[in-house]
Chain A
Amino acid sequence: MTETAIELAGLTKRFGSFTAVDGLSLRVERGEIFGLLGPNGSGKTTTIDMISGLSRPTSGAITVLGIDVLADPRKLRRSLGTVPQENALYEELTAEANLRFHADLFDVPRAGLNEKITALLELAQLQERRKSRVSTFSGGMKRRLALVRAMLHEPELLYFDEPTLGVDVQSRHALWDRIRELKERGTTVLITSNYLEEANALCDRLAIIDRGKLVALDSPSNLRRSFGDTVLEMRTHPAPGDDVVRKVRALPGVVSVIASDGSLKVTVEGGADVTGKVVTEVVGTTSLEEIQSREPSLDEVFLSLTGKELRE
């Protein structure tokens, strides 16, 4: 059995003159939770559609679980579980009927199906609502049901589009726990998300794509580190002048400096030495009223890599 769950090589998709995905190459290892991040329109959904065989690339190759997706997309679908953003649940059917329908589509053996459905509904904390129509469920309940439905045929690879979009905090953590349990069972999980916090909490590795191109690929901590290891946020009086900004920017180990309305945000790499030099430079020209030191956030990494907010 190959250790690679997904391998994309030079994947390109064009719609007329518009290039949605542009020469994308990456590998996802088996058993990892892999996040695909990018602003709206960056090519995430197009990439996922090609991975699941719903759309053919203009060029490039896709191998998923050792299967050439272009040659045999149906074979792949047996091993692929999908939780689309819109859930794709039949709202006028009951929770149980939705699971039974999925079992029919994926030819889940009838022997033991009842027990399996019961176990999954318990996992989703929906056993008491087994006979209720999905239209009566909250957003979080629907999301949990969609997740366990995708698990019903025991896929080796599970794709989860925006896992916790529109769900409450309690449901979000319950969903995260289920996703982590999947990883513990050896399932490869591919998620796309607009929540960097979610990607940070769940993913072993992240790929950031923008305008259809791979911008960065690493673990969340390494991505943050690549941007700098410390962010200093300082409030000064008077506001920092251009000369201070220029001097701080010129210091070795300073990655970026942003001044606005009496505050200065400096990202550095090199630890306490660099931090100390920055503070010394600032207090030499202005009065420091407040200082905070923290790790860079993924939002900042994302912004620095793509030049835009994730939710643009």
Chain B
Amino acid sequence: MSVRHNLRVVRAVAAADIKLTLREPLFAIIGVLIPINFLLLFLLFALSGGQAPIAVVMNDRGPLAQQFVQAMGHSSSFIIHTASAADAEHEIHSGTIVAVVTVPQEFDAALAAKARIDLPVEVNNLNVDFTNDIRRAVPLSITSFYANAFPDQVVVTAHESDVQAADTGYIPYLAVSIMVAGLMLASQLQGSVNTARDYELGTIKELALAPVSRLTIGVGKVLGAAALAAASALLLFTVVVFFLGVRPLHPLEVLGFGLLILAAFLALGVLAGTLVRRRQQAIPLSIAMVLPLFFLSGPFGPANWLGALPGAIAAVSPLTYAIAAFQHAFHGYQTAPQGLSVDAIVLAGFALAAVGSAAFVFGRRGARH
């Protein structure tokens, strides 16, 4: 068995898998669109969860009252609109807003007289997460307003010095994490579906009886799936870079780490496909394997900020290192103490273990379907 024959088989198996996937539009669409849906859903969640919609009833339209509302707007905690008292009442009871903040009559006059002002804040406390956002952000807005409007009266101020050269928005941070998860999902889906298809349709016998090693067949299948997963990854990359405007600082790192993630999770996909041997089971299994890993791996912030137990769990998840590496590739900072070389070693080791396990199980199971 020559190298040329092995290469011929690898090319043939990869090409056949690509053709077959493209000729089964449902699986092609699922494979490409699930990861992008994943990205869009999480971004929508982040966008909707980040700011609470509130109504402000302006019973005083003086300059200080206006300045106070501006301070609320700058807190990045509210989506504000002004409304009449009646309309605001209707909105909060119909569930369209979280809170109503009423600026009382003679707000400006009371401030000038240094009189006490009670600011009515009505909260729909059906969800404590949103309720706490209001409870934190309203006093913060008052402090911020005071610091700007009466700088002489506020003598304690924070003097911030930043570790990073520039702030990173929540969406750009999250988008990179989700991109890694999407890449994982795309790879695992394609790997598992391509492998399960051969067992499901009985064509595994044609492959298993070929006079080549199972490893050669496996490499062909991984490359076929890689081409399709790469299409999905490219789509994710396009959305993140061109629609969200998150551009990588180190494109070669994106490529290198991206290929490592692709290899590891394609191999895991082949392993999953070999074990379940049915495409309809391979798809939910892939999602079920990726989602918990995603949440355990610090996608919303550095894993060590989650606390001792979640941090320890995150340390054993390969996705943690993938996210840390991608955050560095895009934003240029380290989100974990281990450093980029450890990220690379862990991911390479994981990829090797995944490829080894997939080759072992695929080889052992052979043509039994």
Which A residues are within 8 Å of any B CB, using their own CB? 49, 52, 54-55, 74-75, 77-78, 80, 82, 84, 86-93, 97, 100-102, 104-107
Contact = CB atoms under 8 A, between A and B. Distances in A.
Interface of B: 1-2, 5, 8-9, 11-12, 16, 19-20, 23-24, 201-213, 366-368
Nearest to A90: B203
B154 to A, nearest CB: 72
Q: Among A55, A80, A106, which residue has the most Cβ atoms of chain B within 10 A?
A: A106
Contact of A90 (B11, B20, B208, B212): B20
Contact of A93 (B5, B8, B11, B16): B16
A75 B213 CA distance: 11
Contacts of A82: 205, 209
Contacts of A52: 209
Given A92-B20, A93-B19, A105 B202 contact: no
B216 to A, nearest CB: 10
A154 B212 CA distance: 17
A54 B202 contact: no
A56 to B, nearest CB: 10
A101 B202 contact: no
Contacts of A105: 9, 12, 206-207, 210-212
A100 B5 CA distance: 14
19 contacts: A54-B208, A54-B367, A55-B368, A74-B211, A75-B211, A82-B205, A86-B202, A86-B205, A88-B203, A89-B203, A90-B20, A90-B201, A90-B206, A92-B23, A101-B16, A104-B12, A105-B9, A105-B206, A107-B2
Contacts of A54: 208-209, 366-368
Q: Among B203, B211, B212, which residue has the most Cβ atoms of chain A within 10 A?
A: B211
Nearest to B20: A92
A74 B201 contact: no
Q: Among B23, B209, B210, B368, which residue has the most Cβ atoms of chain A within 10 A?
A: B209
A107 B5 contact: yes
Contacts of A106: 210-211
**Closest 3 pairs between A and B when the two form their complex, measured CB to CB:** A104-B12, A86-B202, A105-B210
B203 A74 contact: no
A146 to B, nearest CB: 9
